[in-house]
Structure 1
Amino acid sequence: MPETPRPVVFIHGLWLHATSWEPWVERFRAAGYEPVAPGWPNEPASVAEARANPDAVANIGIDEAAGHFAEIAKGLGEDTVLIGHSFGGLLAEKLLGEGIGAGAVAIDPAQIKGVLPLPLAQLRSGFPALGNPANLHRAVSLTAAQFRYGFGNAVDEAESDALYEQWTIPSPARPLFQAAAANFVMHSPAAVDTKREPRGPLLLISGTADHTVPDVVTRSTLKQYRDSMAVTELRQFEGRGHSLTIDHGWGDVADAVLEWLRAQGL
């Protein structure tokens, strides 16, 4: 660790508010880092405000979000570490591939261009947004049952419902449409430069019971980096679902990330 605390930018994915990273922020600050957890462009400051004003984030796409977080990371300096979950993981990969950040961790990252597996569980998880083409320019909310399937399937129903009430917000559907079409679009915003040399180390994390980003998708993402000489590793958490950053076992994941960052000198 450098004498000056290393900045860390936490990037959340769809349907969770930025404040869902608060326990991580506290743990990383206690470990000597200088963490921040900004919201997506136009995201209201609280869960309640976000639910009351869903149109604030409607039509935000991958490129708009990537540009937003790129400016934040650049403002914090070259030593910044990027940690993202779900679409936040895709954004962390994308920024690292653009030479932004000293290293990155992508937890259950949304599929990037080139990833081919499309399990039925993933299709079902994305259906609340993708099921209606008119949602492309809208913000979409999940029901408790939809959250239970996509996020909380590996915890009991009471915990899933509590997490839903505490952290969920309406999110733009556009990134899901962009990722779904990525392999059919030449200049897809879901494309990541997986061959960039040099770049900082990258850790991919997968929950083996994840429905939203199944383990096979994350393993396929790892294969996209096979031609890179930079450090790219995968850590799997057995029996964990998409809620692994916010449920009762979040600390195990956070500690594994801290351990990996120290091993990389970050």
Structure 2
Amino acid sequence: MDQAQRPVVFIHGLWLHATSWGPWVEVFRESGYAPIAPGWPGEAETVEAARQHPDDVAGLGIDDVTDHYAKIVEGLGDAPVVIGHSFGGLIAEKLLGQGKAAAAVAIDPAQIKGVLPLPLAQLRAGLPALGNPANRNRAVSLTAKEFRFGFGNAVSEQESDDLFERWTVPSPAKPLFQAAAANFSLHSEAAVDTANNTRGPLLLISGLEDHTVPDVVTRSTLKQYRKSTAVTELRQFEGRGHSLTIDNGWSEVAKAVLGWLDEQGL
């Protein structure tokens, strides 16, 4: 397929709105791709509307979101490149394992079934949702302080606060509970087909200062793919936290992804 026709689907994670991918969409369009950044099921079209209607996404689980994006992907005609951040990265891995994508990029991806490390920083980052079992079927919002620890720890406090005001929305807590219990569940929704030899290439990206998905978690994710002969690579970014897709250094990550896709002939 000609690169100019290659669709790209961006998938955001918890607490960020789909429009946060705007700069990426523009750069990928300028690079000859056909990018889209659809929201999660029930997600309002704007940040402000999403904040006003948190119950519209309450109770969504990993499979609900994966099935939503699978239908979008299937409607494109040609297999896309799927690029996800955080839980969007986990969903991108699931879609790739299911053979629905030509390639996937998982940026600071949420832990999949089989990943064992659980650093203290990650536990703290998940507490706004996991700290109350009653949150499982609710939509939860972050405070600016919580966002600073989980997302904006590698940027200035001012930039972290600006990103919080611009992009954060309430998100369903259920995916966090599902991921936390994945290794104790026989049929966890956080499971990914990591042994698929016929899938397209996968790039895992890790911010070395990430609190929400620490580098040790992403490296453990890479190990889960050791039985697959398909291309699986890891790229680490020094001094970057969980906000690496939206902060002042986002273009460095985007350029690295574009370069990798070119290497893969995509």
Q: Shorter-chain-normalised TM-score: which range?
A: over 0.9
Task: State the distance in 1 between where 2:55 and 2:142 align.
Answer: 15
- Structure 1 segment 1-266 matched on structure 2, within 5 A: 2=2, 4-266=4-266
1:46-85 deviations in Å (ceiling 9; x for gaps): 0000000000000000000000000111111343100000
Q: Does the CA contact (< 8 Å) of 2:40 and 2:68 recur in 1?
A: yes
Task: State the distance in 2 between where 1:65 and 1:151 align.
Answer: 22
Task: State the distance in 2 between where 1:21 and 1:134 align.
Answer: 31
Task: State the distance in 2 between where 1:188 and 1:74 align.
Answer: 24
Task: State the distance in 2 between where 1:88 and 1:71 align.
Answer: 15
The amino acid across from 1:207 in the alignment is G
The alignment covers a number of residue pairs equal to: 266
Task: State the distance in 1 between where 2:198 and 2:138 align.
Answer: 38
Cα shift at 1:197: 2.2
Task: State the distance in 2 between where 1:52 and 1:61 align.
Answer: 21
Consecutive unaligned residues of structure 2, counting only runs of 5 or more, are none
Q: Does the CA contact (< 8 Å) of 1:78 and 1:100 recur in 2?
A: no
Consecutive unaligned residues of structure 1, counting only runs of 5 or more, are none
Task: State the distance in 1 between where 2:221 and 2:69 align.
Answer: 21
1:166-211 deviations in Å (ceiling 9; x for gaps): 0000000000000000000000000000001200000000000000
Moved over 6 A (4+): none
Task: State the distance in 1 between where 2:140 and 2:118 align.
Answer: 21
TM-score for both structures, normalised by structure 2: 0.99
The amino acid across from 2:19 in the alignment is T
Cα shift at 1:3: 5.7
Cα shift at 1:106: 0.1
Task: State the distance in 1 between where 2:214 and 2:187 align.
Answer: 25
Q: Does the CA contact (< 8 Å) of 2:41 and 2:65 recur in 1?
A: yes
1:77-128 deviations in Å (ceiling 9; x for gaps): 3431000000000000011011110000000000000000000000000000
1:215-262 deviations in Å (ceiling 9; x for gaps): 000000000000100000000000100000000000000000000001
